[in-house]
Structure 1
Amino acid sequence: MPLPDLVRRWQPGWGRCRTLPAATEVPGGLRVVLGLPGRHAEIFALDDQAVPALAERVAEAAEPTWLTVPTTRPGEVHIALENADLEPFPDAERLMTIELDDHPAHPVPNAYWAKTSEFRGVHRIDLTGHDGTVAASGLAAIVGTDAVMHDIRTDPAHRRRGLASAVMSALAVTATQLGATTALLVATTEGEHLYTRLGWEPVATMLTATAPMSALVRT
């Protein structure tokens, strides 16, 4: 499937997980308002050839705005962002996907139990330890036949116990029961290693940049 179509499928679920308003179309991209300090808005490019025009929009924005470019040519796009006087973030992310029928099953370890909840179409899995603390969690928004997974977390004190794999497996089961057939997510470098082991495939590098004065650590 063409990359712009995958971005269009991923973005609404990502926005729903973050309780954001719907994106608006801009030439060559999708603009989302986050309302955060240093990140009032973010534009997701639908075509990496649109970087110069989108970079100009970012530079002229009245509020701090990020530009994220999904691409299969990260080296060239990184240079294009710098040439447009934007400052790329040092760590790239990955847009990844998997067919849910292929997602492996990982049971919840015996020392934990799973709690499932739903709020406004976003499904949450919490793995809780015997002390009552949430050891790992994750979100999935179902948009049509797509499950967009987001914010997969493991408490540092509970890592290396297979909890993230169990969360992903539980989210995949929930999504399948709700009619989803494909899953999408954006992974950090650390998360990419886990998802690759689970059979997820990277389809694009996500490069993010902003005007130098508003560059902040990702949130």
Structure 2
Amino acid sequence: MASAWGFTIDVGLPGHVARHVLSATDEAVVRKITENTTAPGVWLKAPTPPDLFASWLGPGWSLAGGPGFLMTAPSHPARAEAPPAIAEGYRLDSWTRAGLTRALVRSVDGAFAARGQVVVTGSAYVVDQVETDPAHQRRGLGRLLMHALVEAAAGQGATTGVLVATPEGRALYETVGWRVLAPLTGAVRS
């Protein structure tokens, strides 16, 4: 969900229930979110240096997650190239429910290999939870997922992508046309 200060993403994982991502450094917004959020497992990420960010956090919040990057991809970067071929021995499935598209790659024996999801909000789309199991890395599955997610967003009319990347994920996203807008610092409510 988009707001004046950034995005809120319903993550739905144990220890990571939701994530607020600020698009700009804003002490008042950080203080308001961290003072009014008491549920554990809520994350907040902002383009703010760690020491400064830590000084703005309310009780029960602490820095977490290591370095991150706010990234964007205007004009459907994956559409500039043909869809990547799926590696032999894998299958890609995707489905959409309530505006959220999930993509899942499994090996032919049904084992988890990779996943990701995307949600469209207005003209923007947010890519989240892109993950490739270490045993299945370096087979083009991340690139395949990103293409599928961007295509799903484009099919819903979205034109500009946003995501939060780890240092490892950043390398993949840059190869498919995304660029860093700002470094991010993360915090979590315990």
- How far off its partner does 1:156 sit? 1.9
- Using a 3 Å threshold, how does the CA distance of structure 1 residues 157 and 44 change in structure 2: closer, same or farther? closer
Counterpart pick for 1:79 among 48, 51, 57: 51
Distance in 2 separating the partners of 1:120 and 1:99: 24
Indicate conservation of the 8 Å contact 2:104/2:114, yes or no.
yes
RMSD: 3.2
Indicate conservation of the 8 Å contact 1:128/1:134, yes or no.
yes
One-letter amino acid of the structure 2 residue matched with residue 80 of structure 1: L
One-letter amino acid of the structure 2 residue matched with residue 94 of structure 1: F
Aligned residues: 182
1:196 lines up with 2:174 in the alignment: yes
More strand by share: 2
Q: Percent identity between the aligned chains?
A: 25
Match of 1:130 in 2: 108
- How far off its partner does 1:140 sit? 0.9
SS in 1 for 2:152: helix
1:50 lines up with 2:27 in the alignment: yes
TM-score by structure 1 length?
0.67
> Highest CA radius of gyration, 1 or 2?
1
Counterpart pick for 1:164 among 142, 155, 179: 142
Deviations along 1:130-184, whole A, 9 cap, x unmatched? Answer: 1122311111112222221111111222111110111111111222122121111
Q: Which has the higher contact order (CA 8 A, sep 6+)?
A: 2
SS in 2 for 1:168: helix
Gaps of 5+ in 2: none
Match of 1:102 in 2: 77
Distance in 2 separating the partners of 1:57 and 1:149: 22
Higher alpha-carbon deviation: 146-155 or 57-66:
57-66
Match of 2:93 in 1: 115
TM-score by structure 2 length?
0.76
Gaps of 5+ in 1: 20-33, 215-219
- Using a 3 Å threshold, how does the CA distance of structure 1 residues 78 and 181 change in structure 2: closer, same or farther? same
More helix by share: 1
SS in 2 for 1:48: coil
1:149 lines up with 2:124 in the alignment: no
- How far off its partner does 1:111 sit? 2.2
